[in-house]
Structure 1
Amino acid sequence: MLKIGPIELETPVVLAPMAGITNAAYRRLCAEQGAGLYVCEMITSRGLVERDAHTQDMLVFDELETIRSVQLYGTDPHYVGEATKILCEEYGVAHVDLNFGCPVPKVTRKGGGGVLPWKRTLLGHILEAAVAAAEPYGVPVTMKTRKGIDDDHLTYMDAGRIAQDAGIAAIALHGRTVSQAYSGNADWDAIASLKASLDIPVLGNGDIWEAADALRMVEETGVDGVVVGRGCLGRPWLFRDLADAFAGVESQALPALGAVASMMRRHAELLCQHMGEERGCKEFRKHISWYLKGFPAGGDMRRDLGLVSTLAGIDRLIADLDPSAPFPASELGAARGRQGSPRDKVVVPEGWYDDTDGTGCVIAEDTISGG
Structure 2
Amino acid sequence: MSALHIGPHALANRLFVAPMAGVTDRPFRQLCKQLGAGYAVSEMVTSRRDLWDSLKTSRRANHDGESGPIAVQIAGTDADMMAEAALYNIDRGAQIIDINMGCPAKKVCNKWAGSALMQNERLALEIASAVVRACAPRGVPVTLKMRTGWCGQHKNAVQLARQFEDAGIQMLTVHGRTREQGYRGCAEYDTIAAVKAAVAVPVVANGDIDSPEKARAVLAATGADALMIGRAAQGRPWIFREIAHFLATGQHLAPPLVAEVRRLLLAHLQDHYQLYGEASGVRSARKHIAWYVRALPGGEALRQHINTLECSAAQWQAVAGYFDDLGARMDRLPAAASARPTSPLLHA
User: TM-score, with normalisation over the residues of structure 1?
Assistant: 0.84
Matched with 2:9 is: 7
Is this contact kept in 1: 2:205–2:227, CA < 8 A? Answer: yes
Equivalent-residue separation in structure 2 for 1:53 and 1:30 (angstroms)? 24
Distance 1:274 1:189, change over 3 A: same
Matched with 1:38 is: 40
Between 1:1-10 and 1:52-61, the stretch displaced more is: 52-61
Equivalent-residue separation in structure 2 for 1:80 and 1:232 (angstroms)? 29
1:300 aligns with 2:305: no
Q: CA deviation at 1:51?
A: 4.0
Distance 1:246 1:62, change over 3 A: farther
Is this contact kept in 2: 1:49–1:83, CA < 8 A? Answer: no
Matched with 2:184 is: 183
Q: Structure 2 unaligned runs (5+)?
A: 344-348
Q: CA deviation at 1:247?
A: 4.2
Distance 1:275 1:108, change over 3 A: closer
1:67 aligns with 2:69: yes
Structure 2 SS opposite 1:294? coil
Matched with 2:341 is: 334
Matched with 2:234 is: 233
Structure 2 SS opposite 1:204? strand
Equivalent-residue separation in structure 1 for 2:246 and 2:4 (angstroms)? 15
Between 1:167-176 and 1:38-47, the stretch displaced more is: 38-47
Equivalent-residue separation in structure 2 for 1:268 and 1:188 (angstroms)? 36
Is this contact kept in 2: 1:28–1:62, CA < 8 A? Answer: no
Q: CA deviation at 1:14?
A: 1.6
Is this contact kept in 2: 1:140–1:168, CA < 8 A? Answer: yes
Between 1:308-317 and 1:97-106, the stretch displaced more is: 308-317
Is this contact kept in 2: 1:116–1:123, CA < 8 A? Answer: yes
Distance 1:319 1:135, change over 3 A: same
Equivalent-residue separation in structure 2 for 1:180 and 1:261 (angstroms)? 36
Is this contact kept in 2: 1:176–1:187, CA < 8 A? Answer: yes
Q: What do the CA deviations read for 1:263-318 (whole angstroms, capped 9, x no partner)? A: 32122122123333443332211112211122111543221123342233433343
Q: What do the CA deviations read for 1:27-84 (whole angstroms, capped 9, x no partner)? A: 1111111241111111111147854443223211141422211110011001001111
Matched with 1:101 is: 102
Percent identical among aligned pairs is 35
Map 1:96-135 to 2 at 5 A: 96-135=97-136
- The structure in which a higher percent of residues are helix is 2
Is this contact kept in 2: 1:127–1:166, CA < 8 A? Answer: yes
Q: CA deviation at 1:114?
A: 0.9
Is this contact kept in 2: 1:258–1:321, CA < 8 A? Answer: no
Matched with 2:346 is: none
Q: Structure 1 unaligned runs (5+)?
A: 337-371
Q: CA deviation at 1:246?
A: 4.5
Equivalent-residue separation in structure 1 for 2:15 and 2:142 (angstroms)? 17
Q: What do the CA deviations read for 1:237-271 (whole angstroms, capped 9, x no partner)? A: 11222333444485421125444333321221221
1:141 aligns with 2:148: no
Distance 1:245 1:138, change over 3 A: farther
Q: CA deviation at 1:329?
A: 2.0
Q: What do the CA deviations read for 1:130-161 (whole angstroms, capped 9, x no partner)? A: 00111111111000001111112222112101
Equivalent-residue separation in structure 1 for 2:272 and 2:339 (angstroms)? 27
Matched with 1:314 is: 319
Equivalent position amino acid for 2:256 in 1:
P
Equivalent-residue separation in structure 2 for 1:108 and 1:174 (angstroms)? 16
Equivalent-residue separation in structure 2 for 1:146 and 1:271 (angstroms)? 30
Matched with 1:86 is: 88
Matched with 2:220 is: 219
Equivalent-residue separation in structure 1 for 2:49 and 2:273 (angstroms)? 26
Between 1:128-137 and 1:275-284, the stretch displaced more is: 275-284
Equivalent-residue separation in structure 1 for 2:241 and 2:286 (angstroms)? 24
Equivalent position amino acid for 1:321 in 2:
L
User: TM-score, with normalisation over the residues of structure 2?
Assistant: 0.89
Q: What do the CA deviations read for 1:299-345 (whole angstroms, capped 9, x no partner)? A: 43221123342233433343333551642427745259xxxxxxxxx
RMSD: 2.2
Is this contact kept in 1: 2:242–2:252, CA < 8 A? Answer: yes
Is this contact kept in 1: 2:293–2:299, CA < 8 A? Answer: no
Is this contact kept in 1: 2:16–2:37, CA < 8 A? Answer: no
